[in-house]
Amino acid sequence: KDIGITDRVVYNSLINEARTEEFQAVKESKVEAAILLLYQRGFLGGEARVDIVNELLGKAAYAGIKKPLIDTYVLDLLSLSIASKTILKLKDSLGFPCGCGAHNALSTWSFEKRLWVEAEIPCMVAIDSLPVVLGADFIIYGPIENCTQVFPAVYSVDTSYSFLRRMGESIDF
Per-residue pLDDT tens for 107-155? 777 666 667 777 888 989 999 999 999 999 999 998 999 999 999 999 9
The pLDDT tens digits for 85-104 are 999 999 888 999 999 999 99
Looking at the domain covering 6-166, what would its CATH class be? alpha beta
pLDDT over threshold 60, residue 1: no
Sequence-distant (≥ 6) Cβ neighbours of residue 49 within 8 angstroms: 38, 43, 72, 73, 82, 83, 86
Q: Are 37 and 15 in contact (CB under 8 A)?
A: yes
The pLDDT tens digits for 24-56 are 999 999 999 999 999 988 767 767 888 899 999
